[in-house]
């Protein structure tokens, strides 16, 4: 065991995984852009209250699981456990509620929860997130769901199912709570400790309980949907109709409620169905819903919102489990070698035009014998070796050797780029200019 290791529940992404995650994020970001969602980034650290006030007292993520941050003994800050409240803070702080609505925002950041680590559950994990502010219409919910289902399909994830439910708006909430509290109170002595606590703090979450007897009790509870007002019902009907029109498979789950108290009306989750992940609970690869009271809760005006967040770590594992090719770290295309132990500067100089031409070029810095250098180049995954400092490669010549075909050719130094190009493709180079006009 090494002396130092990554903190509990946090992990390092090595080149192959780091590359795969970057590609995954790029696919999601591009899709978000296609849906008109603009990227933002926000600090890893926020005022503790941003989460504590919005998530609800029954939420562990924004309660006992929060990572408190202190500076010189002063507290009040926390590592963000979820995205929505943080993005809402950004929205309000920068006066985006006075920009043309709706405001559609996308981000992909790391989240932190001080939970006990398990498979696919880390203390530091990555989430992609879409938030749409200022759109009360069911169409916004539908689009968010469509985005997510489409994303998973685009990536090749098929072992997944969509659950949808409505929990009503804030006007219905007192009626819902009253009815459910009255029902569950009759069984209070039979409920387990956690649910007795929820009876006081967050009745709806009793539906989340996994204790068998509690589930039986919950099965007899009044359906939330039957307690809602006309507008809630109409909204939900529109959502369902919309998803159907788009050909998205779904199921209504009467007991689906989410872990944060700010949700209103629409809630949904995309659940993994592969047996490898089908444990006692269900693992959600994405989930979200509407939060029409959140902006006001945070001190802003009454502005509705709807959004979705998904775990990148979960997504990555699910795709891998399903055999989707996630690629690996791009190895160097070209390795520069030399038989001359004293030509370090020449090797460096030789690599530059190749790099400018778009090849990934690594250099063997050593003075090892040439065969060792070749062996090393192969083990580093290079496809082509460019060799100088030998008998053949003299007077402005270099050898370009295809390491796969084991064929080589002596060429003028000036023609090296062209010759290498016959064996490996140039890689596209990112630029600063926004493609397709202003971004």
- Which of residues 80, 113, 265, 423 is near RNA by CB under 7 A? 113
Q: What is the DSSP letter of 434?
A: P
- Per the DSSP assignment, residues forming a β-bridge with 385 are 335, 401
Is the Cβ of residue 239 or residue 400 nearer to RNA in the bound state? 400
The residue within the footprint of RNA, chosen from 54, 127, 306, 338 (CB under 7 A), is 127
H or E stretch covering 139: helix 138-155
- Cα–Cα dist 52/61, whole Å: 9
Asked if 208 touches RNA (CB under 7 A), the answer is yes
Say if residues 228 and 222 touch (Cβ distance below 8 Å). Answer: no
- Residue 225 contacts RNA per CB under 7 A: no
Q: Which of 310, 338, 417, 423 binds RNA (CB under 7 A)?
A: 310
- Binders of RNA among residues 354 to 393 (CB under 7 A) are 366, 368-372, 374-376, 378-379, 387, 390, 392-393
Among 34, 94, 200, 210, binds RNA (CB under 7 A): 210
110 binds RNA per the rule CB under 7 A: no
Compute how many residues bind RNA; rule: CB under 7 A.
71
The structure tokens listed for 424 are 């490996």
Angstrom distance (rounded) from CA 133 to CA 36: 13
Residue of 271, 29, 7 lying closest to 149 (CA atoms): 271
- Binding range to RNA, per CB under 7 A, among 96-104, 108-116, 170-178, 297-305: 108-116
Residue 108 lies near RNA (rule: CB under 7 A): no
Smallest gap from Cβ 76 to RNA, in A, equals 20
Among the listed residues 254, 264, 250, 162, the one whose alpha carbon sits nearest the alpha carbon of residue 208: 254
* CB closer to RNA, 69 vs 211: 211
List the interface residues with RNA, window 33-62 (CB under 7 A): 59-61
Least Å distance between CB 434 and RNA? 30
Of residues 250-269, those binding RNA (CB under 7 A): 258-260, 269
Listed in sequence order, the residues at least 6 apart from 71 whose beta carbon sits closer than 8 Å to its beta carbon are 77
- Contact call for residue 314 and RNA (CB under 7 A): yes
Q: In Å, how far are 59, 128, 130, 349, 371 from 39, measured between CA atoms?
A: 28, 11, 9, 39, 49
- Containing 126, the helix (H) or strand (E) segment is strand 124-133
Is 7 among the residues that bind RNA (CB under 7 A)?
yes
Q: Which of 38, 404, 412, 425 binds RNA (CB under 7 A)?
A: 404
Tokens of 294: 């959140």
Distance between CA 407 and CA 330 in Å, rounded?
23
Alpha helices in 56-137 (DSSP H): 84-93
Give the pair of three-digit tokens for residue 19. Answer: 């590359």
Using rule CB under 7 A, residue 13 touches RNA: no
Interface with RNA in residues 132-191 (CB under 7 A): none
Tokens of 241: 């109709």
What distance in Å separates the CA atoms of residue 394 and residue 371, rounded to the nearest whole number? 19
Q: How far is the CB of 151 from RNA (least distance, A)?
A: 13
Q: How far is the CB of 374 from RNA (least distance, A)?
A: 3
Smallest gap from Cβ 5 to RNA, in A, equals 6
State yes or no: residue 82 binds RNA (CB under 7 A): yes
Minimum CB separation of residue 27 from RNA in Å reads 17
Going residue by residue from 321 to 340, which x/- string records binding to RNA, judged by CB under 7 A? --------------------
Answer whether the bond into residue 133 is a cis peptide, omega within 30°: no
**From the CB of residue 280, how many other CB atoms can be counted at a distance below 10 Å?**
5
How far apart are CB 430 and RNA at their closest, in Å? 29
Closer residue to RNA in complex, CB, 319/393: 393
């Amino acid at each position: 065991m090494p002396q130092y290791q990554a903190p509990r529940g946090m992990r390092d992404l090595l080149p192959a995984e780091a590359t795969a995650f970057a590609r995954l994020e790029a696919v999601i970001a591009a899709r978000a852009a296609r849906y008109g969602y603009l990227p933002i980034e926000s600090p890893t650290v926020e005022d503790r209250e941003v989460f504590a006030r919005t998530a609800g007292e029954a939420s562990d993520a924004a309660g006992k699981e929060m990572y408190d941050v202190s500076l010189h003994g002063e507290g009040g800050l926390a590592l963000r456990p979820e995205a929505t409240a943080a993005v809402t803070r950004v929205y309000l702080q920068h006066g985006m509620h006075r920009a043309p609505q709706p405001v559609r925002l996308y981000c992909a950041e790391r989240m932190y929860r001080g939970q006990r680590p398990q498979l696919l559950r880390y203390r530091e994990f990555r989430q992609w997130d879409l938030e749409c502010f200022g759109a009360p219409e069911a169409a916004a919910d539908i689009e968010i769901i469509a985005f997510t289902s489409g994303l998973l399909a685009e990536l090749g994830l098929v072992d997944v199912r969509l659950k949808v439910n409505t929990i009503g708006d804030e006007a219905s909430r007192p009626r819902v709570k009253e009815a459910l509290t009255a029902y569950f109170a009759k069984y209070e002595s039979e409920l387990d400790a956690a649910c007795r606590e929820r009876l006081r703090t967050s009745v709806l979450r009793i539906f989340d309980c996994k204790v068998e007897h509690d589930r039986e009790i919950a099965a007899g509870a009044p359906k939330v949907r039957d307690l809602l007002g006309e507008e809630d019902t109409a909204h939900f009907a529109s959502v369902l109709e919309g998803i159907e029109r788009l050909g998205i498979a779904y199921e209504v789950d009467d007991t689906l409620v989410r872990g944060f108290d700010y949700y209103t009306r629409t809630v949904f989750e995309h659940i993994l169905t592969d047996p490898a992940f089908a444990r006692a609970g269900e693992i959600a690869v994405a989930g979200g819903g509407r939060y029409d009271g959140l902006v006001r809760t945070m001190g802003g005006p009454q502005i509705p919102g709807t959004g979705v967040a998904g775990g990148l770590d979960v997504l990555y594992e699910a795709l891998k489990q399903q055999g989707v090719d996630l690629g690996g770290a791009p190895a160097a295309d070209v390795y520069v070698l030399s038989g001359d132990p004293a030509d370090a500067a020449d090797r460096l100089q030789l690599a530059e035009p190749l790099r400018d031409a778009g090849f990934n070029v690594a250099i063997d810095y050593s003075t090892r014998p040439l065969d060792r250098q070749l062996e090393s180049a192969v083990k580093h995954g290079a496809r082509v070796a460019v060799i100088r400092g030998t008998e053949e490669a003299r007077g402005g010549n270099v050898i370009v050797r295809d390491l796969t075909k084991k064929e080589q050719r002596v060429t003028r130094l000036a023609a090296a780029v062209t010759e290498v190009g016959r064996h490996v493709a140039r890689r596209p180079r990112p630029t600063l200019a926004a493609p397709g006009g202003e971004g």
